Structure 1
C-alpha cells in the first residue's frame, strides 16, 4: 500500500517498501502531497506500480517533512494514564488539547534547536503518533472518522518545561519554538497501518528507551480525537492531531532523540 513523502527540494513522492517515485509520475493531476490527501482518505491513491518512473530507494533521497505547510496542529496532553502519574497530575476526563504553529515543524533528522538558556534550560522531547486529516469535515461521529483520515506519522514533540511550570497558561509559548515538532519521513495510509490498538509508541534518547506504551492504553484513542476536534472546528486536509506521548525525556545539546511507532515508522533528530 502507498505512502506519501517529499524531498528537500520540494518534489512530492509516492512510495512503498521498495522505494519512491515522483507523485506526478503516477498521476499528473497530483502536484503536491496535500493534493493527494483526499485520495488517501478515500483509499483511491495510485501506487508506485502505476508510475512511468522507476523507484528510487529512500536511502538515496534527501527527505523533508511530508507536508510543506501543514494546517492546524493539535496536540494532546496526558493521554496516557502512566504519563499523567509520572508528572504527578490527575488524568483529565476529556482531551487536554493545545495548538502549535506551523512554524514549529521541521523534517526528519531535524535538528532540534534549543532556545537560549536564558529563555529555557529544560526542554523535553516526546514520541507521539500523529493523525493526518485528508478531507474537510466537521461534527463527525466516531464511525465516520475513517473516511477523513489520510494516514499516520511518527513525530517528536518538544516542551519548554520550565516555562510551562511557571504558569500553565504559558503552554502555547512552551510548545511553539521553531523545530519543536519533528515530522517523520513519510505518511502511511490507513490501510497500511492496520489496527491502531496493536501499536506501541516509544520515546528514545541516545538509544535508550525512556518511555513506551500501547495506543490501546490511551484515554482518548485517535479516532475519538478526530471526532472530538471536528466538533470544535472544521478540520481540513493537512491538519494534524498528535495523539499524546507515553513519556517525555529531558534533552541537551548532542543528544539524539527518536520516536518509534510500531507499524508506522520512526523519526530521529539530533539536538543542537
Structure 2
C-alpha cells in the first residue's frame, strides 16, 4: 500500500493511493496515518479495504508529510561509503546518530526555506524508515517486524551551522522546512529489498546525486536493531538512513542552494519530491 496525507498544512486527512495513482480518502476508517494505524494489525485492516469503495479525492491537493505523530526524527551520518569518500571522512566503526527536530518536517512538495544567515544550505536524498511497532532491544532477526514502511526524505542541511559552529550537528539539520517527507509511506511488503533502491536528486534539472541504497554501510535491519539498544523506537518515528554522494558540499567548487532554485528527488518505487527554494 501507499499511504499518504493530503490537504492544507495542519489539516491533512489520511489517504491511500490506488492502483491508478488516484487518491482515495481513508477518513471513515482511520483518523490519521499515525500510531496504531501503523501497527501490523492496523495496516492489515487497511489492506482488507477495497480501494474502489473509498471516496475519490478530486483535483490535485497538497500532499502533507506521509506520517504524523513523529516523536523522534533520527538521522544516520556518513552511512554511504561513497559519500564518506567525497567529504574526505572515514566510515565510522559504528553509526553516527543525530536528531533532526520534528518541527522541520514538511510535505514533499513544500518550499525549502533558507535560514537567515545561511550561505551553505545543502541537499541530501535519503531513504526514510517509518516505525510501526515499538522496538526496544530487538535483534536484527526481528528488526523488520517493527518497520511499517519506507519513504523519501530530503535531509536538508546547513553546512556552516552543522560543522563550523561548536556543538552537535543538530543545529545544522533542524531549521523549519529541512525535513520534506513523502510523498507516501510505502508499506514494507511492497519493497522487496530496501538495500537495492536507486535514488537521485537534481537541482534546476542538473543531476547531482545518482546513487543506490546498495552502498549503505549499515543497512535498515542493522540500524533498527542498533538504535533500539539506545532508545525505544515508537510508531511514527522516522529513521533517515544517510545519503549517497553528490551533495553540494562535495562539489568542486562547493555548490549550495539559493532562492529561486528547484530541487527534485526520488527513490525507485517510493515516489518523488519537488521543492522551490525561498529565502526564510
Q: Is TM (by shorter chain) over 0.5?
A: yes
Structure 1 residues 50, 209: closer, same or farther in 2, change over 3 A?
A: closer
| Residue equivalent to 2:25 | 22
Q: Is 2:67 the counterpart of 1:67?
A: yes
| Residue equivalent to 1:261 | 267
CA distance in 2, matches of 1:263, 1:88: 31
Q: What is the CA distance between 1:44 and its match in structure 2? A: 4.8
Q: What is the CA distance between 1:43 and its match in structure 2? A: 4.6
| Residue equivalent to 2:3 | 4
Aligned residue pairs total 265
| Residue equivalent to 1:94 | 94
Give the 3-state SS of the residue equivalent to 2:161 in structure 1: helix
Q: What is the CA distance between 1:168 and its match in structure 2? A: 6.0
Per-residue CA deviation, residues 124-177 of structure 1 (Å, 9 max, x unaligned), is: 011001000001121111111221111101010111111223246241111111
Q: Specify every segment of 5 or more residues in structure 2 that has no aligned partner in the other structure, as ranges.
A: 249-255
Matches within 5 A, 1:1-272: 2-8=1-7, 9-18=11-20, 19-25=22-28, 28=29, 30-34=30-34, 35-39=36-40, 43-46=44-47, 49=50, 52-56=53-57, 60-117=60-117, 120-167=118-165, 169-247=167-245, 248-249=247-248, 250-272=256-278
Per-residue CA deviation, residues 67-124 of structure 1 (Å, 9 max, x unaligned), is: 234220011111111111111111111111100111011112120000113xx21110
Per-residue CA deviation, residues 13-35 of structure 1 (Å, 9 max, x unaligned), is: 1233322222244xx3x221114
CA distance in 2, matches of 1:10, 1:197: 31
Give the 3-state SS of the residue equivalent to 1:253 in structure 2: coil
Asked whether the 8 Å contact 1:39–1:45 carries over to 2, the reply is no
Q: What is the CA distance between 1:201 and its match in structure 2? A: 1.9
Q: TM-score, normalised by structure 1?
A: 0.90
Give the 3-state SS of the residue equivalent to 1:266 in structure 2: strand
CA distance in 1, matches of 2:82, 2:192: 25
Q: What is the CA distance between 1:52 and its match in structure 2? A: 3.7
Structure 1 residues 205, 83: closer, same or farther in 2, change over 3 A?
A: same
Give the 3-state SS of the residue equivalent to 1:60 in structure 2: coil
| Structure with the higher fraction of residues in strand conformation | 1
Give the 3-state SS of the residue equivalent to 1:32 in structure 2: coil
CA distance in 2, matches of 1:50, 1:107: 23
Per-residue CA deviation, residues 221-265 of structure 1 (Å, 9 max, x unaligned), is: 111111110111111000000010013222111111122111211
CA RMSD, Structure 1 to Structure 2 (Å): 1.9
Give the 3-state SS of the residue equivalent to 1:132 in structure 2: strand
CA distance in 2, matches of 1:202, 1:135: 29
Q: Specify every segment of 5 or more residues in structure 1 that has no aligned partner in the other structure, as ranges.
A: none
Q: TM-score, normalised by structure 2?
A: 0.88
Q: What is the CA distance between 1:42 and its match in structure 2? A: 6.3
CA distance in 2, matches of 1:38, 1:115: 36
